[in-house]
Amino acid sequence: MTPRVPLGAPDKLTFLLSLVPYLIDHDGISVTDVAAHFGVAPERVRDAVTLIAVSGVPGDTSQYLPGDLFDIEWGQFEADDTIVLTHLVAIEDSPRFSAREAAALIAGLQYLSSLPENADRDAIASLMAKLSRSATAAPSQLAVSARTSGDAISLIQSALRSGVQVRFDYLNARGGQEERYVDPLRVESVDRDWYLRGWCHLRGAVRTFRLDRMSALTVTDRPVTSRTEELVLPETLFQGSESDLDVVVELAAGALPLLGDYLSGRPVQHLAGDLVRATLRVSHYHALKRLVAGLSGVVTVVEPAAAREIVRAWADAGAARYSEPAAPSAPAGPGE
Amino acid sequence: MSTTPEPINRVTVEERLFSLVLALIATEIGLTKADILSTVQGYRQRYVHSGDNASLERQFERDKDDIRELGIPLETVEQPDDPGNNRYLRYRIPKGLYELPTDVSFSGDELMLLKLAATVWREGSLSAESRRALTKLNALGGADGDPVLGYAPTLRVRDASFEPLSKAMDRAHVVSFLYLKPGEAAPRRRQVAPRAVVQHESRWHLFGTDLDAGATRTFLLSRIVGPVVVVPDLVAPESGPDAGQTALAELDALSAANVAEIEVLPGSDAAVRLGKRAADASGGAQPIAALVLHYTDLNILADELSGFGPEVLVLSPPALRDAVLDRLLRVRDAHEPLEVRS
């Protein structure tokens, strides 16, 4: 995954310091292979190699004489686009991690330990200890609790490896239960929420499913039918569709991040004080009612009136359960 | 101006930094600031002999900070016969501390796992650190391309206080911030020596010593209102290496002690999703009407349960029951039909 952010000098310096030991270990490697390995454009590798080849130390004369500089086989570099270091200066080995870099990796590992294939806690612990010793300073105390995500991920992974579909019952936000056959493409997560992205045979399209909304998940013997290598997964988990509905809500500006995935790209309108009006995009109002009822006192739906009413009725039905007699009967859900 | 033949300012920032790192690794005894400014590529072009080099010196100070930020151990060495004299301070990067320890090596599988761990922070906080860690991991070899096929896990930090708190922790700073405890009408200022920042149940927490209470406290980042400021002249006491695990263990214990009983509508979204989390869920194949949930924070659970509307009825504890009902009534009342203006 190539980052799209512009790279600053710290990134470029890290690249230079990492490239030297890699080139030492891979004598005569081509520019394109290096680029593929580091996930960068070939041009960046050429620029870096060119800079390394003219860099070095001031030396005894403080004049950066040829013996004080790195050197490469220029002919091979220019004619064949391959890299051979012929003279080395000052560094040979990979740099250590900074305290924060090591901390980011350790926290990432703790998070990944909830994946079934990383269930070996001892292996993870020994890897974390190695990272701590590979950092210049004690890694920052960042920690992430790993929640075991159940069997779903193992089942999906085995289907992915065997090239077969998975089958499960899936509740949509309206409360309807549907049987789905899906070609699994990727398991994704955001914090503790895990998702399957795959080709849904019911909808004939790529869809995202919450793992915790699936029941009776099984690995089938039906081979996948989609050509997964031809399917391009969009970067974001959720994509808008033509039929999405716009909803205007009011909230404090500071609470906007809570709506992350639902916010439309449209600019927010600032009201008195800290209040803003923002536009959400939802697939239908039944997804909205769950979102808004979970953000009590934070978000209020302004329009359309139909959306306000569905939210009101949902909360009203919820509240009504507390005035029921001791043995409550199943209340009729609103809206269906 | 300059007597050197090279054109001024043609040296890029990365060339200057790279040259500085190489020069400081190559020296055993260290270089003085004057040595560096007059001889190292990127400085020497702008150095004025026996003149004013104040801006160049400031440049060097910034470069030093940037280099240390990357985990490169740039040391200062005082002259034994003239301690405290800045002019004779020497700078160097000990090679043994710069390089990965010789006895540390990572297997191909380990590298693959670490590369996946580095992609977890793909957005926002720690994404720059992860990107650089990934570059350093790539230097060690391992397989190319996407680390583990079929996975794209993400950790996300939405709290603005994460960055200042984690930096303060690294620098042993004491911080102060306004904290809004649920049930209290107004936020109160806290002075805290941060010891760990941890994610538990999807929420980020600060674990630290509350200097006013003189005891360890855990704070939810989402309840910190307003900016986190560093308290000058206070140094945080040394914290153990396991503060993060201690914090998580405490949160786990808290969660185990807090028990909520709820009833869910069979077949509903609440039954499926909460059923998977429930303490007594046995496989989850049969519809379960009554569930037991553990929680660390009553208000957070109340928010979540309110979202399920009529699919959930809280049986106990009474405080949770009241909190959910209160939230639902507030949502209902806030969404009464608006007056139609004519």
pLDDT of residue B119: 87
The residues with which A135 forms a beta bridge, in sequence order, are A97
Report yes or no on A60 lying in a domain.
Answer: yes
Helix axes A42-53, B13-26, angle to 10 degrees: 50
pLDDT of residue B236: 78
A67 and A116 part of one domain: no
- Judge: domain B168-250, CATH 1.10.10: no
Distance of CA A286 to the CA centre of its chain: 27
A105 and A71 part of one domain: no
Report yes or no on A235 lying in a domain.
Answer: no
- Asked if B328 and A293 come within 8 Å (Cβ–Cβ), the reply is yes
ipTM field: 0.86
A13 and A83 part of one domain: yes
Pairing of strands A205-210, A214-223: unpaired
- Rounded to whole angstroms, the Cα distance separating A249 from A301 reads 4
CB contacts < 8 A, A to B, total 383
CATH of segment(s) B13-98:
1.10.10
- Asked if A212 and B276 come within 8 Å (Cβ–Cβ), the reply is yes
Report yes or no on A82 lying in a domain.
Answer: yes
Residue B105 neighbours by CB under 8 Å, 6+ apart: none
The residues with which A188 forms a beta bridge, in sequence order, are A195, B152
A282 and A306 part of one domain: yes
Q: For A297, how many CA atoms within 13 A lie in the half-sphere containing its CB?
A: 12
- Asked if A3 and B131 come within 8 Å (Cβ–Cβ), the reply is yes
pLDDT of residue A3: 43
Number of domains in chain A: 4
* Mean per-residue pLDDT pooled into runs of 10, chain A (336 residues): 62 96 95 94 95 93 90 94 94 93 93 79 88 91 78 86 92 79 89 87 88 90 78 67 83 79 81 88 86 90 92 95 64 39
Identify the closest residue of chain A to B200 by CA–CA distance: A145
Amino acid identity at B218: T
Q: Please check the confidence at residue B282 and state whether its pLDDT lies above 60.
A: no
Provide, for chain A, the percentages of residues in helix, strand and coil under a 3-state DSSP scheme, each rounded to the nearest 5.
Answer: 40, 25, 35
Q: Which residue has the higher pLDDT, B241 or A319?
A: A319
B contact test, residue of A44, A89, A105 with most B CBs within 10 A:
A105
The answer to whether the CB of B206 falls within 8 A of the CB of B263 is no
Identify which of A4, A11, A93, A57 has the alpha carbon closest to the alpha carbon of residue B70: A11
Average pLDDT over residues B268-294: 73
Q: Which residue has the higher pLDDT, A20 or B273?
A: A20
Q: Which residues of A touch B332 (CB under 8 A)?
A: 312, 315-316, 319
Q: How sure is the predictor about B332, in pLDDT bands with cuts at 50, 70 and 90?
A: very high
Q: Distance, in angstroms, between B121 CA and closest chain A CA? A: 7
Report which secondary-structure segment, H or E, holds A196.
strand A193-200
Identify which of B321, B316, B327, B313 has the alpha carbon closest to the alpha carbon of residue B274: B313
Report yes or no on A19 lying in a domain.
Answer: yes
Report yes or no on A52 lying in a domain.
Answer: yes
> CA separation (Å) from A92 to A17, A23, B19, B73?
9, 10, 15, 16
Average pLDDT over residues B35-44: 94
Q: How sure is the predictor about B284, in pLDDT bands with cuts at 50, 70 and 90?
A: very low
Helix axes B108-119, A121-133, angle to 10 degrees: 80
**How many residues would you count in chain B?**
342
* A252-266, B154-168, B256-270: segment of lowest average pLDDT: A252-266
SS3 (DSSP) at A179:
strand
Identify the closest residue of chain A to B203 by CA–CA distance: A191
End-to-end CA distance of chain B: give it in Å, rounded. 77
Q: How sure is the predictor about B44, in pLDDT bands with cuts at 50, 70 and 90?
A: very high
- Rounded to whole angstroms, the Cα distance separating B190 from B221 reads 13
The residues with which B204 forms a beta bridge, in sequence order, are B199
pLDDT of residue B279: 67
Q: Please check the confidence at residue B184 and state whether its pLDDT lies above 80.
A: no
Domain residue spans of chain B: 13-98, 100-156, 168-250, 258-334
A164 and A120 part of one domain: no
Q: Of A230, A258, A278, which residue constitutes the final position of a domain?
A: A230
Report yes or no on A332 lying in a domain.
Answer: no
Q: Please check the confidence at residue B4 and state whether its pLDDT lies above 60.
A: no
Q: Please check the confidence at residue B5 and state whether its pLDDT lies above 90.
A: no
Burial status of residue B10 (CB atoms within 10 A of its CB: 0-12, 13-18, 19 or more): exposed
Report yes or no on A158 lying in a domain.
Answer: yes
Report yes or no on A140 lying in a domain.
Answer: no
Q: Please check the confidence at residue B222 and state whether its pLDDT lies above 90.
A: no
- Rounded to whole angstroms, the Cα distance separating A318 from B306 reads 8
Q: Which residues of A touch B312 (CB under 8 A)?
A: 318
Q: For A180, how many CA atoms within 13 A lie in the half-sphere containing its CB?
A: 31
State the residue range of the domain holding A66: 9-87
Question: Tokens 């080995």 correspond to what residue?
Answer: A93
